[in-house]
Amino acid sequence: MRTFSLVAAILSLIFTSCQNSSTEPIRAKSPNILWLVAEDLSPYLPMFGDSTIETPNLSRLAGEGVRYTRFFSVNGVCAPSRAAICTGMYPSSIGANHMRVQWNRDFLEGLGLKLYECVPPPQVKMMSQILREHGYYCSNNSKTDYQFVPNETAWDESSVFVHWRNRSPGQPFFAIFNFDVTHESQIFGPYHRYVLRFNQNFPGDREKDGPGYQGDVDSSDWYWNVPLDLPVNVPPYLVDDSLTRMDVRRNYSNIIEMDKQVGVILDQLEKDGLLDQTIVVWYTDHGGPLPREKRLLYDSGLRVPMIIRFPDGRGAGTIDSQMISFVDLAPTAFSWAGIQPPDWIQGQAFDGPFQAAPRKYIYAASDRFDSEYDRIRAVRDVRYKYLLNLMPDQGYYLPVAYRENMNSMQSLLHGRDQGTLDEWQAQWFRTSKPKEELFDTWQDPNEFHNLAADPEYADKLEEMRQACATWQEEYGDLGLIPEGELLERFWPGRVQPVTADPVITVAHDDLTLSSSTEGAQIGYRKAGSEGPWMPYLKPLHRQEGPWEFVAHRIGYKPSGVVSYPPE
């Protein structure tokens, strides 16, 4: 990559011609927005203070961009976090805080539930749809996992083969590339074949390469990017033995592989001559993959690294320490695009023309993980973390079977059973917990020492307690409702509602569309086309048809397809 300059007018809001008859005009010089999203990763990186390995592509990105050191997920696991990212809403406020609701049928049926989708308030749209409505080409490669099926108008494309190169000439794009190779499952591997798709042949051919993405690589091909004797630091909450060190090395090896894959995308961006038009954002979807990281509301599960490279070189090589939450990503993308964030968005822009005042707190919540419940709420300021344990009679450790595939988890369980864990390793296996916890993350970054009962911190405890209560009251907390009752609220009788078919009104040469389902988003395309459904925003000319239409409210089944002229 190279460093360059661009006039500060990158975000000027001069309007040009319409992209099509129902979207807003594209703003001249609207920046492209590229999100590079790694999975399950804490700041185990040289530019964030960990010098164990080298990551040349991310280090170069950091040298040309801004590092954000106080960036936090809203949950320690992916599906609730992605619900927040794609809507700008707290998962606990829209009933998306249980992991997961669309998968793991056996877990849900064992709890007397069924697979379902959360149903956000009717005004809520996916952020990609809003960007599409303003002329952006929006692509997702390829993870969704939003706690609901994306509505028909959410993406121009979403698959393992999509790329910004498929857009119309000159159209600004919002593109996401998800790097799965750092996922927890790749610690106990071997690699799923599709996680290696970001190579020199990317994006590949759908028919030729698609079958090759099935299954796992052979164990002998599950390669290492680090020496097997690489010295590594083991966090004090894990057992420092050969098995755990193997997991830690595998994590670093996966990070190096992810860095190579990021380099593939950045090289393609530069080759296409788009670096000077694109805001590049690299971040991870929650904290690290190891035990007592993922699924926890400690910083090891919530604090994630982020790097943003701006087209005008602003802030190159600097650190931004403002408090940022995942719910702030969507409004910030809107701000960069010159779009005022909608009133219903719960996050706030941390950059761009609509930048808000800095946050004082970030908030997080956890409820169900697979078949295990543990309701916890978290509030953090620059220094202190407050945890409200709503199930204090339950221990910290949850027997999540998926996690127990890891060597490091087996070492912890063996040490627990043999009584060989030290004080900090054993702490996770306590059979109950206090109602409230308060940690000084500067003095105690691993959050071992609860200060809630210390009179010296009584004022801070009360401040954080009130901040938590205010957050729950202001935004609502559907995690406090039994999940079966929540399912009934979303799907009365536990039957998924169906979005009402679009109704066509013809006046002169115009077609006006509506649906009686509140919150339904209507899509249209030329009849017989296999292209994406375009968001409907204003009447269409009937002579430009024939057309077909669909309506879809998030959490509902989509409507049937309606044609004009009628078939």
Beta bridge partners of 365: 377
Q: Is the pLDDT of residue 148 over 90?
A: yes
- Please report the pLDDT score of residue 13 as a whole number: 32
- Please report the pLDDT score of residue 242 as a whole number: 98
- Please report the pLDDT score of residue 212 as a whole number: 86
Whether residue 506 is contained in a domain is answered as yes
307 with 230, same domain: the answer is: yes
User: Which residue, of 308, 326, 358, is where some domain finishes?
Assistant: 358
Q: pLDDT tens digits for 153-194?
A: 999 999 999 999 999 999 999 999 999 999 999 999 899 999
pLDDT band at 21 (very low <50, low <70, confident <90, very high): very low
Residues 6+ apart with CB under 8 A from 388: 376, 377, 378, 435, 436, 465, 468
The half-sphere exposure of 205 on its side-chain side, counting CA atoms within 13 A, is 3
176 with 197, same domain: the answer is: yes
276 with 242, same domain: the answer is: yes
pTM given for the model = 0.95
Whether residue 382 is contained in a domain is answered as yes
433 with 337, same domain: the answer is: no
| Cβ–Cβ under 8 Å, residues 156 and 138 | yes
Whether residue 109 is contained in a domain is answered as no
- Please report the pLDDT score of residue 24 as a whole number: 53
Q: Any idea what the CATH number is for the domain that residue 192 is in?
A: 3.40.720.10
Q: Is the pLDDT of residue 59 over 60?
A: yes
| Cβ–Cβ under 8 Å, residues 262 and 36 | yes
Q: Is the pLDDT of residue 8 over 90?
A: no
pLDDT band at 525 (very low <50, low <70, confident <90, very high): very high
- Please report the pLDDT score of residue 207 as a whole number: 87
Q: What number is the average pLDDT over the span 101-124?
A: 97
529 with 486, same domain: the answer is: no
Of 165, 159, 166, 164, the closest CA to residue 141 belongs to 159
Whether residue 108 is contained in a domain is answered as no
348 with 410, same domain: the answer is: no
Q: What number is the average pLDDT over the span 128-149?
A: 97
354 with 451, same domain: the answer is: no
- Please report the pLDDT score of residue 209 as a whole number: 87
Q: pLDDT tens digits for 215-269?
A: 999 998 899 999 999 999 999 999 999 999 999 999 999 999 999 999 999 999 9
45 with 168, same domain: the answer is: yes
Taking the CA atoms of residue 81, residue 86, residue 87 and residue 90 in that order, the dihedral angle to the nearest 10 degrees is 10
pLDDT band at 16 (very low <50, low <70, confident <90, very high): very low
Q: Would you give the end-to-end CA distance of the chain in angstroms? A: 53
Q: pLDDT tens digits for 542-551?
A: 999 999 999 9
- Please report the pLDDT score of residue 564 as a whole number: 96
- Please report the pLDDT score of residue 10 as a whole number: 34
208 DSSP assignment: H
Q: What number is the average pLDDT over the span 92-102?
A: 97
Q: Any idea what the CATH number is for the domain that residue 435 is in?
A: 3.30.1120.10
Whether residue 103 is contained in a domain is answered as no
Q: Count CB neighbours of 556 within 10 A.
A: 23
User: Which residue, of 493, 528, 549, is where some domain finishes?
Assistant: 493
- Please report the pLDDT score of residue 23 as a whole number: 52
Whether residue 106 is contained in a domain is answered as no
Q: Would you name the residues annotated as active-site residues?
A: 78
- Please report the pLDDT score of residue 567 as a whole number: 80
Q: Please provide the average confidence, as pLDDT, over all residues in the chain.
A: 94
Q: pLDDT tens digits for 292-327?
A: 999 999 999 999 999 999 999 999 999 999 999 999
524 with 485, same domain: the answer is: no
Q: Measure the CA–CA gap between 485 and 31, rounded to whole angstroms.
A: 44
**What is the number of structural domains in the chain?**
3
| Cβ–Cβ under 8 Å, residues 424 and 446 | yes
Q: Is the pLDDT of residue 12 over 50?
A: no
Of 421, 448, 180, the closest CA to residue 300 belongs to 448
433 DSSP assignment: -
Q: pLDDT tens digits for 427-467?
A: 999 999 999 999 999 999 999 999 999 999 999 999 999 99
**Assigned token pair, 410:** 């087996």
299 DSSP assignment: H
Taking the CA atoms of residue 561, residue 564, residue 565 and residue 567 in that order, the dihedral angle to the nearest 10 degrees is 0
User: Which residue, of 358, 392, 409, is where some domain finishes?
Assistant: 358
Q: Count CB neighbours of 318 within 10 A.
A: 10
Q: Any idea what the CATH number is for the domain that residue 533 is in?
A: 2.60.40
252 with 145, same domain: the answer is: yes
Q: By percentage, how much of the chain surpasses pLDDT 90?
A: 92
Residues 6+ apart with CB under 8 A from 94: 83, 87, 118, 120, 121, 124, 478
Q: pLDDT tens digits for 376-424?
A: 999 999 999 999 999 999 999 999 999 999 999 999 999 999 999 999 9
Residue 413 is part of which domain span?
A: 365-493
Q: Which residue has the higher pLDDT, 335 or 212?
A: 335
Residue listed under structure tokens 């809203």: 74
Taking the CA atoms of residue 430, residue 436, residue 440 and residue 441 in that order, the dihedral angle to the nearest 10 degrees is 70
163 with 278, same domain: the answer is: yes
Whether residue 509 is contained in a domain is answered as yes
Residue listed under structure tokens 């010159």: 338
Q: Measure the CA–CA gap between 80 and 507, rounded to whole angstroms.
A: 44
63 with 210, same domain: the answer is: yes
Whether residue 487 is contained in a domain is answered as yes
* 176: enclosing H helix or E strand: strand 173-179
- Please report the pLDDT score of residue 254 as a whole number: 98
